[in-house]
């Protein structure tokens, strides 16, 4: 069992405790969903299984059409999220991804998905659609500073 998260299988719990303090959706979670889940639960409306789409927050947080009262993702609560139960079960009739897909999740991928849900399951726009934010250059004392790039180099 992980120190702060829900009860997890041992191999997932070990990885969970080693994950970064904060996960980034675009860097950590979207690649997992894209590679392992979107085939059946992505944006292609012609290939949606069980009425579930995971490519957007609105779709992922909605009540499951084939399981009234259940939700794929409940932000902040992995144990109330069907995704949590489906990726951790050993039951071949319930596990996701389905065995017939020949796709599997690693312990690290499972841990990341669980932690992301526990963190609030925040979806983010693709980085190309996010306006850049101006940041301060690091303050350094040593070395010759000609421009802001020198601050970054000297800070390392």
d(Cα 82, Cα 64) in Å, to the nearest integer? 9
Q: Which helix (H) or strand (E) holds 32?
A: helix 30-36
Domain ranges of the chain: 10-130
On the question of pLDDT at 44 being above 90, the answer is: yes
Q: Is the pLDDT of residue 16 over 70?
A: yes
Q: Helix (H, G, I), strand (E, B), or coil: what is residue 71?
A: strand
Q: What is the pLDDT of residue 6?
A: 83
| Closest to 50 measured CA to CA, from 97, 112, 116 | 97
The rounded mean pLDDT for the chain is: 90
- For residue 118, which of 15, 12, 23 has the smallest C-alpha distance? 23
Q: Read off the pLDDT of each residue in 124-131 and give the average, rounded to a whole number.
A: 89
Asked if pLDDT for residue 71 goes beyond 80, the answer is yes
Asked whether the whole model's pTM tops 0.95, one would answer no
The neighbour count for residue 44, using CB atoms within 10 Å, is 12
| Res. 2 pLDDT band, cuts 50 70 90 | very low
């Amino acid at each position: 069992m992980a120190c702060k998260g829900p009860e997890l299988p041992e191999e997932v719990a070990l990885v969970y405790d080693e994950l970064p303090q904060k996960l980034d959706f675009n860097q950590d979670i979207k690649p997992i969903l894209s590679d392992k889940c979107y085939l059946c639960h992505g944006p292609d409306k012609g290939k949606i299984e069980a009425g579930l789409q995971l490519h957007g927050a609105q779709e992922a947080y909605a009540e499951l059409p084939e399981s009234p009262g259940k939700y794929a993702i409940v932000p902040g609560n992995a144990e109330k999220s069907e995704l949590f139960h489906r990726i951790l079960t050993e039951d071949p009739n319930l596990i996701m991804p389905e065995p017939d897909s020949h796709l599997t999740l690693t312990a690290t991928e499972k841990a990341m998905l669980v932690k992301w849900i526990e963190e609030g399951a925040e979806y983010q726009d693709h980085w190309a659609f996010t306006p850049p934010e101006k940041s301060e250059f690091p303050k350094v004392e040593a070395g010759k500073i000609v421009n802001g790039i020198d601050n970054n180099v000297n800070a390392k």
